[in-house]
Structure 1
Amino acid sequence: MAINRDFLGRVYESPQPYEVTRGKIREFADAISDPNPVYRDRASAEAAGHADVIAPPTFPIIMGMEGAGQAIVDPDLRLDYSMMVHGEQRFSYSRPMRAGDVVNCVTTITEIKSLGRNELITLKSELSTVEGEHIVTTRNLLVVRDGAEPAEQK
């Protein structure tokens, strides 16, 4: 069954702000095996010109997945999670995310299309501080394999 095109433009907001802490940054850096000291040591981060430790560039996926997760589990979207694979992830930064940031995330379904027998859904997440300062925009492409209906494959 095809993804519900009525969901194009639908917005999902994080239910509460996410507090970026040194501990969460360190845990994420450990999980991706990145030893960069600017992710762990404030003095190293300051020597590199940052006010505090900064997060690895892919760290915002934690917040973006919350909005994507809200969409994915909505039965009216008709997305077959068992056939879904991650197609692409992009990040466009205004500045690095750093310890002490308190961040809101707004995720929007920006594109739904068929490509061959697959369906593609693109989600854009805007992450900003609670004060309104933009930090990063992420784009997440999900591919639902064999999800297009025959009439849509023309």
Structure 2
Amino acid sequence: MALNMAYEGRTFPPTEPYRVGREKIREFADAIGATDAAYRDPAAARALGHPDVIAPPTFPMVITMPASRLITDDPDLGLDYGRMVHGDQRFSYVRPVVAGDELTCVTHIEKLTSRAGLDSVSLRLEITTTDGDPVVTAWSKLVARQAV
């Protein structure tokens, strides 16, 4: 199936709120080998001016991956998930993710391209508090080899 170019510019509804917990931050930090005390110790985080432990910079993947599934699971888009790789990822922070945050994510398809046997989907994922305060924006590119 060809990539459905009509999806370019589409915005998907916000995800259900995700409550960030200290234990989830610690587990994520352990999984990636991050050792900063501010990821585990509330006193160390407060000494840096944060209200509680903070998450490592790539922690928003925990929130953006389920949001991205709204796109990859949509058969009308025409992206072959079985042929897909993650092509790019970057983050722009307003502030760190902190234990106790309740966050949602809105996904935007910024650009779709098909060329040289590859389909690519460029996403912008806006993570905010449930009150609407911006926390971090993530950009992600998904690339899939077209079926022959």
Measured against the shorter chain, the TM-score band is over 0.9
Partner residue in 2 for 1:92: 92
Q: Residues 33-58 of structure 1: CA distance to partner in whole angstroms, max 9, x if unpaired?
A: 11111101001111122111001101
Is the aligned partner of 1:51 residue 2:51? yes
Q: Which moved more, 1:109-118 or 1:57-66?
A: 109-118
User: Displacement of 1:14 after TM fit?
Assistant: 3.7
> Percent of aligned pairs with the same residue?
49
Count of residue pairs brought into register by the alignment: 148
**Counterpart Cα distance in 2 of 1:84 and 1:92:** 24
- Letter matched to residue 65 of structure 2: M
Partner residue in 2 for 1:109: 109
**Counterpart Cα distance in 1 of 2:54 and 2:15:** 24
TM-score for both structures, normalised by structure 2: 0.94
Partner residue in 1 for 2:133: 133
**Is the Cα contact below 8 Å between 2:3 and 2:114 reproduced in 1?**
no
In the alignment, structure 2 segments of 5+ residues that lack a partner are none
* Change in 2 beyond 3 A, CA 1:121/1:3: same
Q: Which moved more, 1:98-107 or 1:43-52?
A: 43-52
In the alignment, structure 1 segments of 5+ residues that lack a partner are 150-154
User: Displacement of 1:15 after TM fit?
Assistant: 3.9
Partner residue in 2 for 1:11: 11
- Letter matched to residue 112 of structure 1: L
Partner residue in 1 for 2:21: 21
**1:13 aligns to what SS in structure 2?**
coil
**Counterpart Cα distance in 2 of 1:86 and 1:133:** 28
**Counterpart Cα distance in 2 of 1:108 and 1:84:** 19
TM-score for both structures, normalised by structure 1: 0.90
User: Displacement of 1:148 after TM fit?
Assistant: 8.0
**Is the Cα contact below 8 Å between 1:119 and 1:148 reproduced in 2?**
no
User: Displacement of 1:139 after TM fit?
Assistant: 0.4
**Is the Cα contact below 8 Å between 2:90 and 2:140 reproduced in 1?**
yes
**Counterpart Cα distance in 1 of 2:108 and 2:63:** 13
User: Displacement of 1:100 after TM fit?
Assistant: 0.9
Partner residue in 2 for 1:152: none
**2:140 aligns to what SS in structure 1?**
strand
> CA RMSD, aligned part only?
1.5
Partner residue in 2 for 1:70: 70
**Is the Cα contact below 8 Å between 1:114 and 1:148 reproduced in 2?**
no
- Letter matched to residue 137 of structure 1: T
**Counterpart Cα distance in 2 of 1:61 and 1:13:** 18
**Is the Cα contact below 8 Å between 2:38 and 2:53 reproduced in 1?**
yes
Partner residue in 2 for 1:33: 33
